[in-house]
Amino acid sequence: MKTELIHHQTYQTRAETRQVEYIEVFYNRERLHSANGYLSPIDYELQHKAA
């Protein structure tokens, strides 16, 4: 089980670890954001690197 995911934070339960992992991996990296023109953060970053 990953117990140190963000800033060496230790999580007490697997459920807590899964929640944080979901937020960091899916929600923040794959979710479409209106501030990015409804692109995922990854797509936004790739688009601007290519420009």
CA atoms within 13 A on the CB side of 45: 6
pLDDT band at 8 (very low <50, low <70, confident <90, very high): low
Q: Are 21 and 13 in contact (CB under 8 A)?
A: no
Tens digits of residue pLDDT in 18-37: 888 887 777 777 788 888 89
Q: Are 2 and 15 in contact (CB under 8 A)?
A: no
CB atoms within 10 A of CB 15: 9
Query: Residue 41: is its pLDDT beyond 60?
Result: yes
Domain ranges (residues) in the chain:
14-50
pLDDT band at 15 (very low <50, low <70, confident <90, very high): very high
